[in-house]
Structure 1
């Protein structure tokens, strides 16, 4: 997780066999475009977010290794096999250093290994040299494991899932509700249309006698693909409720994984950061693009060709952009009911294999809550209740409601880390809090959307007065630009409430209640007493000669909360989004 992972100790707090820490998993994801090595700690209670102790990649393309310069299929060479064996032997040493049990080291291979001319000999050579067995996934299982990898990266999933590797592409539908994952009974439908394979196929089609013949061949191939995708859609039997939702919403949500689609996602990110507004989050998991942006293939192809350097997009990936663009166009034309939004996922075979191990009750844990729990003060749950009580329980008639995007999970996470940045100086607390979800303490959490990262970061920053040095203001504005004006206003309000609670409970300990919080929609604001707004009610215990001077502290801070409601501070200015906030402090003989 963010802030750095500590390596597992062999102390009493870890279940240990004579041969290692039984919670650790060493995974080798032997894909078409590269081979990924990782060690993950599956120890409760953080297993839901799949904490990674080490992760790196061997830049060997098994797909390219199976073709000569003329495009003819050839066996995986001895030199490539030897390089992979050497990397596996090094990985075994790293696993031994981390106390990964040998039985928990696993090689998972996909399309490139499955279809290799000398697949059996290649896998036998690895077994002989390393003692490790290559676990080769079938087409349908590869799609299912990939879908689980997608599910690992979100709290709730409902939509179509596509995994674009180098040699193949899989499609299925996926639902995850309360930790229970459902996919098509078929598992998935696989096509030989990986980014590298499709690049090669389109190149072969365009080597005809004339430009007209080339385009005719490509058009015929496009129609074949469209028919295949439509048949796959029908074969997968997408649930009726998912179809009806797509009709209502204007299309299906797509969840996209695999290196080919991740390259497309990073290209979209680059466009947002260089050719548009400064998009502030540079990680692919949880990034979403609406249909219009996702489908702007001609512009993306142009940028990929002309840009000098694109973050996280290698020259190899750039070369595959035309093929991915072709695939995206075919998908847009072939899928019934259209595409509403594309969600990009980091999760793949590695994450899917690990997520498969988890019980549904653990899968259902919210990643933000899991990741922040270790920083929580003992009274975090009670503090969370106070924050939740600062939000009116019902929706106000008209246009004032609390946004569903600021979920209870985000509020709980906020309560967990409410005091984390207190040791920082006044000059750095707000800045550290602002960057906590993108480059700091919580940046490495797996399974959190970009919106949730932006919301939590902005609430945390406001908890420290919302005061930033000039050079950080632009980053805050960029985070705010990813949200609606309504969401931004509530982040300001909740952050101020969090600071108020820290005044009542400076140590984050509630051994005896000092304050109750309630909120309600109210009228009577403004000079004429006609404006609507929000009334925050703070009940404190009546104490004679209170040495804590709680009422004075709350009255002082209440001015900061009222500022959030001042029209000049509304999001977008006086005619923007906001509401007046009133605060009532009352003393009672006893607190509930």
Structure 2
């Protein structure tokens, strides 16, 4: 089956005229008795496969997590079929790592020996890893299909209002209950869960047992499921240091805006125009506001009657990297307001975000909406018409040569923004 799939890929990359191709094999091949023969069959297909060492596999997995979460600070746990890589990451770098001979396919060997056998074996494997013990109360970043499948069960059980796997958090307090529920759930229900890979269902209980053991031994602060791993890490390793420092959310939002924006660079200009209204804003919020500015010009092509909903959809379900469910909800609130939303379409997501932050996102949206109406999407007008807070007033200055920009619509949007901010509005002409 594996060779058939690889033969298909070999044919496709040839037809696509791919300039460069990487093919790698991990522990399942590295440790197999017929691994070398299997690798030769892959090479016979024309695929330049190489076998990664345990250290290379761990480093690539760690870099994959960093590529999606540059602020990651904790332990990456990449669970494959034949091995489990533990990697310490922080500051955008991979530090210590170890490859354990305990992949998901090897778990049954220990669970068959008794209910506590796997935990004892894992404790033995990790006993002499001092950097792992220093990671107590730091997050575990879970990489691999078995973890993602387990997260889908937790999403179902917890009735998560935003069922997106990337950056999904399984609270440590839920792990023991999750294990019990997986062991007791009807297999037909597990197979029926949305996006559940059929091949993962038979291994769900083993994955839950292993996760429970990790939770008991390491005592992390939380468990965050990562959609990025080894594959993305191999690509990320090829970028230079400057490229690696870029925020994946901002890069993605800017790329999306460049496809449909009317005036190149307007989103960045809008973000700069709004800086004076939000001094000292936390970096984790600033990036979301910047992303909202970049994406705000995509609404012009939507049906006006559904524009607000399209903004919500864009934020909640877009293929964004480096964001949590909370981040998506904040971004959706801003874009919903930007595109004139007036209903309670986001009410179901309210538990994900503090009300104060939701109001802040709403203010972003009103400010972006004002900036769009004032400028018509042209950065030059924003440069000439600053907006700022002065002595408790929200002041918009329009020079005399641009007096034609003054309108009832501008005044109404300025007043609405000021009201949301709890200040008075002032329009300065001349």
TM-score by length of 1: 0.66
Check the 8 A contact 2:87/2:94 in 1, yes or no. no
Check the 8 A contact 1:434/1:461 in 2, yes or no. yes
Partner of residue 489 from structure 1, selected from 334, 347, 359: 359
Deviation at 1:372, TM superposition (A): 2.1
State how far apart, in whole Å, the 2-side matches of 1:448 and 1:512 are.
Answer: 29
Check the 8 A contact 2:269/2:382 in 1, yes or no. no
Which runs of 5 or more residues in structure 1 are unaligned?
1-82, 206-214, 395-401, 523-534, 566-580
Q: Does 1:405 align with 2:291?
A: no
Check the 8 A contact 2:63/2:94 in 1, yes or no. no
Q: Judging changes above 3 Å, is the alpha-carbon distance between structure 1 residues 321 and 93 closer, same or farther for their aligned structure 2 residues?
A: closer
1:241-285 superposed Cα distances (whole Å, 9 cap, x missing partner): xx5xx6xxxx11111101121122222222233xxxx522x3311
1:542-569 superposed Cα distances (whole Å, 9 cap, x missing partner): 469x33334x33321134325535xxxx
Q: Judging changes above 3 Å, is the alpha-carbon distance between structure 1 residues 520 and 110 closer, same or farther for their aligned structure 2 residues?
A: farther
Q: Corresponding residue for 1:311?
A: 194
TM-score by length of 2: 0.89
Q: Structure 2 matches for 1:463-542, cutoff 5 A?
A: 463-468=338-343, 473-474=344-345, 476-511=346-381, 513-519=383-389, 522=392, 535-542=393-400
Count the aligned residue pairs.
422
Q: Does 1:167 align with 2:82?
A: yes
Check the 8 A contact 2:31/2:82 in 1, yes or no. no
Partner of residue 182 from structure 1, selected from 89, 94, 106: 94
Check the 8 A contact 2:166/2:227 in 1, yes or no. yes
Partner of residue 584 from structure 1, selected from 418, 421, 425: 425
Check the 8 A contact 1:295/1:329 in 2, yes or no. yes
1:107-130 superposed Cα distances (whole Å, 9 cap, x missing partner): 2111111111111122122223x1
State how far apart, in whole Å, the 1-side matches of 2:15 and 2:243 are.
Answer: 28
Q: Judging changes above 3 Å, is the alpha-carbon distance between structure 1 residues 296 and 228 closer, same or farther for their aligned structure 2 residues?
A: same
CA RMSD of aligned residues (A): 2.6
Q: Corresponding residue for 1:345?
A: 226
1:296-325 superposed Cα distances (whole Å, 9 cap, x missing partner): 334442564463522233344232222222
Q: Judging changes above 3 Å, is the alpha-carbon distance between structure 1 residues 200 and 237 closer, same or farther for their aligned structure 2 residues?
A: closer
SS of residue in 2 equivalent to 1:313: coil
Q: Judging changes above 3 Å, is the alpha-carbon distance between structure 1 residues 221 and 360 closer, same or farther for their aligned structure 2 residues?
A: same
Partner of residue 170 from structure 2, selected from 274, 286, 289: 289
State how far apart, in whole Å, the 1-side matches of 2:397 and 2:174 are.
Answer: 49
State how far apart, in whole Å, the 1-side matches of 2:71 and 2:366 are.
Answer: 29
Q: Corresponding residue for 1:370?
A: 251
State how far apart, in whole Å, the 1-side matches of 2:99 and 2:366 are.
Answer: 51
Q: Corresponding residue for 2:308?
A: 430
Q: Does 1:332 align with 2:241?
A: no
State how far apart, in whole Å, the 2-side matches of 1:294 and 1:484 are.
Answer: 25
Q: Judging changes above 3 Å, is the alpha-carbon distance between structure 1 residues 253 and 268 closer, same or farther for their aligned structure 2 residues?
A: same
Check the 8 A contact 2:83/2:99 in 1, yes or no. yes
Check the 8 A contact 2:273/2:383 in 1, yes or no. no
Deviation at 1:348, TM superposition (A): 1.9
Q: Judging changes above 3 Å, is the alpha-carbon distance between structure 1 residues 220 and 413 closer, same or farther for their aligned structure 2 residues?
A: closer
SS of residue in 2 equivalent to 1:340: coil
Q: Corresponding residue for 2:272?
A: 385
Select the structure that is richer in strand: 1
Q: Which has the larger radius of gyration?
A: 1
Q: Does 1:549 align with 2:406?
A: yes
Deviation at 1:224, TM superposition (A): 3.2
1:391-422 superposed Cα distances (whole Å, 9 cap, x missing partner): 1x25xxxxxxx555312x22222222222102
Q: Corresponding residue for 2:148?
A: 262
SS of residue in 1 equivalent to 2:292: helix
SS of residue in 2 equivalent to 1:155: coil
Deviation at 1:295, TM superposition (A): 4.5
Q: Judging changes above 3 Å, is the alpha-carbon distance between structure 1 residues 319 and 84 closer, same or farther for their aligned structure 2 residues?
A: closer
1:8-36 superposed Cα distances (whole Å, 9 cap, x missing partner): xxxxxxxxxxxxxxxxxxxxxxxxxxxxx
Deviation at 1:145, TM superposition (A): 1.1
State how far apart, in whole Å, the 2-side matches of 1:403 and 1:106 are.
Answer: 39
Which runs of 5 or more residues in structure 2 are unaligned?
none
Deviation at 1:219, TM superposition (A): 2.8
1:301-354 superposed Cα distances (whole Å, 9 cap, x missing partner): 25644635222333442322222222222222222xx21111111112211111
Check the 8 A contact 1:160/1:171 in 2, yes or no. yes
Partner of residue 297 from structure 2, selected from 405, 419, 423: 419
Q: Judging changes above 3 Å, is the alpha-carbon distance between structure 1 residues 293 and 484 closer, same or farther for their aligned structure 2 residues?
A: farther
State how far apart, in whole Å, the 2-side matches of 1:84 and 1:236 are.
Answer: 35
Check the 8 A contact 1:538/1:583 in 2, yes or no. no
Check the 8 A contact 2:72/2:89 in 1, yes or no. yes
Check the 8 A contact 1:225/1:330 in 2, yes or no. yes
